[in-house]
Amino acid sequence: YIVLGILYESFIHPLTILTGLPSAVLGALVALRLAGMDLSVIAVIGILMLIGIVKKNGIMMIDVALELRREGMSPLESIHKACLMRFRPIMMTTLAALMGTIPIALGTGASAELRQPLGVAVVGGLVASQALTLFVTPVIYVYMEHFSGWLVGLWPKRRDKQPPAEAVDQPSLFEGGEALQGAPQKAAAE
C-alpha cells in the first residue's frame, strides 16, 4: 500500500488497486479446501504469488484510467475505456499464470504432493479474482473518485499568499548581471 501510495501520490487509488486481493485470497482458500489440502507454507507462498499477479492486474487497469482522467475524461468514461484497452493484457497475464500453475496443481511424480498446494492456491485465486476484478474494481474506482472529489470539497480553498511587504519593497539582488551593492552610489554620482 505504501509503495502504491507513493507511486500514485494518493491514499485512495492504492485501495482501489488492492480491492481484488480479498477475492483472490478467498478463492485460494476455497480451492485448497475443495482439494482437501491444508494451508501449508507452500500454499502461503502460492497466495503471495497470487497477490503479486492480482495487484499487477489492478495496476494495469487503474493506471490507464488515471491517465485518461488527466486528459479530461470523467471517472466513468476513463475506467470504461481503460477496461476496454487493458482487457486483453490482463487476460493474457492471467491465462499465462494459469497455464504455468495448472501442471503444478495437477502434478504427479516425485515430491508433487509438496508443490500441489502452491498450484491449487494460485489457480483457485486467479479464477476467483479474475471473475470479480473485472467487475468490482471499475465500480470501486468510480465510487472512490467521487469520494475523493467529495473529500477535496470539504477543505477550504487555499488562497495565494501575498509576499510580506518588506520583500516587495526590497530591490532584487541582481540587475543586468551586476550586483546592486554599489548601485545607489553609482546612480547618485551620475
So what's the pLDDT on residue 164? 53
The answer, yes or no, to whether residue 33 has pLDDT greater than 90, is: yes
CATH architecture of 2-154: Up-down Bundle (1.20)
Whole-number average pLDDT of the chain: 80
Structure pTM?
0.70
For the chain, the structural domain boundaries read 2-154
pLDDT tens-place string over residues 80-92: 999 999 999 999 9
Output the pLDDT for position 174: 47
* Local structure of residue 173 (DSSP, 8 states): S
pLDDT band at 180 (very low <50, low <70, confident <90, very high): very low
| 3-state SS, one letter per residue, for 56-106 | HHHHHHHHHHHHHHHCCCCHHHHHHHHHHHHHHHHHHHHHHHHHHHHHHHH
